[in-house]
Amino acid sequence: MLNDLELALLQEINQRVTRTESRMVQLGDFVGTNLRVRMRVAVRKQEGAVWVEVDALDTSISRIYTELREHGIAGMAVPVRLDGKDIATVYP
């Protein structure tokens, strides 16, 4: 389990990454690239395990966090998988 300092640090990192991602989307809009395409993000739960399945490497982190929040998942490490392979771990 994460202690308060580690959790606070991870939340700060989450906020900074979300802001950076937002700026990248704004930059993409400026140069005419469509970065707002909806990618599939699915929260999966099985036998106490939780993970997120995505269908592309460029799925936005904020979409992953939003899906996890909507499923009431927070304060734990959640693997992100593409084609059955772990590609990242997020800490909502």
Task: List the chain domain ranges.
Answer: 4-90
The Cα-based distances of 13 to 18, 26, 30, 38, 47 in angstroms read 9, 20, 26, 24, 30
Nearest to 81 by CA among 47, 48, 40: 40
Length, in residues, of the chain: 92
Band of the pLDDT at 16, cuts 50, 70, 90? very high
pLDDT for 29-79, tens place per residue?
788 776 666 678 999 998 889 999 998 887 888 889 989 999 999 889 999
